[in-house]
Structure 1
Amino acid sequence: MDPLSSTARIRLGVVRLNRRLRQERGDGSLPPGPLEVLGHLHRHGPATPGEVAAALRQRPQSLTRAFADLEAEGLLAREAGTVDRRRSVLSLTESGRLALERDMAERDAWLAKALSSLNPTERGVLELAAELMERVADAETPG
């Protein structure tokens, strides 16, 4: 098989599944940008706005509104840094964690139902693929 067509098939599958998971989110769910910020803080713990932006491959300025909105909604907290008090550190609040868990639960429920139509071997292949996709997502950009 041509490696480029294999690459395109993987990309298409990831894009389609991502789109479907977004569609399975309930009314009142957080927009993708703020959801990504909460997800990062949930997985990696407190971070500066610059660290969050770098991890999400965005400029800090492009996330300023998301940070402010999440803080105003009580979903994240902003505190002065311990090393440099001029730099703020963002952390997930309990309300933020609960909002994130609700959002994930809606998508997980749909995915569990969809996966139930697969046999154990197929589900095992997808679990392995998920592990590999995490590694690929964390790979450094060649350059």
Structure 2
Amino acid sequence: MANDIPPELVAQIRRGATRLARRLRAERPAGGLSLNKLAVLSHLHRNGPSTPGEIAAAERQQPQSLTRVIADLEQTGLITRDRDDRDRRQYVLALSPAGRNALAVDAAGRDRWLADALRDLNETERQVLRLAAALMEELAEL
């Protein structure tokens, strides 16, 4: 049970995992999808067709901040835009087959990078990672 884990150990794991994630993020090579493009594509993959407002609300962003991202994704053919059947003034975005492929390629690239980065961890970092993974599994079962 999660109650068996001392709060100070939980805090140490959180701090260590945060520092490790920050370091790994800083070492991540450029390329792939931007975070905003990834957020929009992932949202459409998880939730199906959505309005820009629904995407912005779910991703906790202002709709204006996604306007350029949505235009770029539409221009490159990664998403499609159709009128909403319920409200013809609104439009709905959907993930195209090319968008699904772009998500898969980006995820595969991130997985390769992460596997390489994890291979280079020192023993302390590996221990933090194991403890954090065990804690997350335990919390997921609650």
Could you say whether these structures have the same fold, taking a TM-score greater than 0.5 normalized by the shorter chain as the test? yes
- Kindly indicate whether structure 1 or structure 2 has the higher relative contact order, using CA contacts under 8 Å at least 6 residues apart: 2
Moved more, 57-66 or 15-24: 15-24
Matched, 1:95 2:98: yes
Q: Deviations over 1:62-121 (max 9, x none)?
A: 111111111001011111001111111111111111111111111112334527x869xx
CA RMSD of aligned residues (A): 3.4
The ranges of structure 1 where at least 4 consecutive aligned residues each deviate by more than 6 angstroms after the TM superposition are none
Normalised to the residue count of structure 1, the TM-score between the two structures is: 0.70
Provide the rounded CA distance (Å) in 2 between the counterparts of 1:79 and 1:22. Answer: 38
Q: Which of 122, 129, 134 is residue 136 of structure 2 equivalent to? A: 129
Confirm or deny: 8 A CA contact 1:25 1:103 kept in the other structure.
no
Query: Which residue matches 1:50?
Result: 53
Segments of structure 2 that go 5 or more residues without pairing to the other structure are: 1-5
Letter matched to residue 10 of structure 1: R
Structure 1 position 37, deviation (Å): 0.8
| Seq. identity, % | 43
Compared CA separation, residues 54 and 74, structure 1 to 2 (3 A): same
The CA deviation at 1:132 is 4.8
SS class of match (2:81): strand
User: Given the alignment, which residue of 17, 20, 24 partners 1:20?
Assistant: 24
Pairing partner for 2:88 from 72, 85, 105: 85
Q: Is 1:70 the counterpart of 2:77 in the alignment?
A: no
| Residues 1:82 and 1:58: Cα distance change in structure 2 (over 3 Å) | same
Between Structure 1 and Structure 2, whose CA radius of gyration is higher?
2
Q: What amino acid does structure 2 have at the position aligned with 1:105? A: A
What TM-score comes out, normalization by structure 2 length? 0.70
Partners of 1:15 and 1:75 lie apart in 2 by 34
